[in-house]
Amino acid sequence: MGKSLGGPFYHWTGRVGNTVGRVVNGVNVIAMAAARGHRVPSEAQLPVQLKVKLVSQFLSRVSPFIRVGFEDHAPGMSAWNAAVQYNLENAVTGVYPALSIDYPQVLFSKGKLAMAAGLAWATTVDAQIDLSWLASVPAYTPGAGTDKLAVLVYNPLEVNPFLVSVGDAVRSDLSFDMPVPATWSGQTVYVYVSFVSSDGRVTSTTQFAGAVEVQ
């Protein structure tokens, strides 16, 4: 913020818009602010920039889910930033510039609810992934039969690679048949499962169900 110590332009100091005022040897000097230069990233910065781009593009397609999944993970940090930070540190593999997402390590949520005990999958029907789990919830761990099942299926060969189902089954159902497009037959997809409380405020930590070849 600029300040005028006299008339409209007398001893004007500070910045107003793209104009900067300062006093040099008792003389008020007013000039345009210097344009910011385009800095060339250092060798050390290039891998970091690529990692951030890789993770951000991957997560951005399911950002509404991320906002709930990481809401309480890092106090003082947005859910999005917390998700990006976690996956930057844990879900990128390879050596620059050949970096890629380490799918089994990805988390879309990190929370206090009980995870799915005995989680298993099967492909007994065309264009469908059959998921099942057990009813047990560990002692002193939040979890109820009304918790909503959340399933994310990722197909890296697709332009729109994610299928998301939230609330089509609940914990007490113990199973859920996730439909996928028939065109995915023979392709390998990556399946993630979590639970969301009935009020939508608390989640479990994402579980990687597996790399599944669609029948």
Q: What is the pLDDT of residues 13-62, one digit of tens each?
A: 666 555 666 655 555 555 555 555 567 778 788 999 999 999 999 999 99
| pLDDT score for 39 | 74
Of 129, 153, 152, residue with least CA distance to 203: 152
Domains of the chain: residue spans and CATH: 3-32 (no CATH), 39-108 (no CATH), 111-215 (2.60.40.10)
| pLDDT score for 24 | 57
Whole-Å CA distances, 202 to 70, 112, 114, 131, 140: 9, 7, 10, 22, 15
- pLDDT band of residue 161 (cuts 50, 70, 90) is very high
Counting other chains too, the contacts that 134-137 makes at CB distance below 8 Å and 24 or more residues apart are 134/174, 135/171, 135/172, 135/174, 137/171
Angstrom distance (rounded) from CA 136 to CA 119:
11
Of 170, 212, 213, 215, residue with least CA distance to 191: 212
What residues are paired with 152 via a beta bridge? 164, 192
Q: What is the pLDDT of residues 118-132, one digit of tens each?
A: 999 999 999 999 999
| pLDDT score for 43 | 78
Q: What is the pTM of this model?
A: 0.80
| pLDDT score for 73 | 76
| pLDDT score for 213 | 98
Q: Which residue has the higher pLDDT, 186 or 8?
A: 186
Q: Which residue has the higher pLDDT, 86 or 40?
A: 86
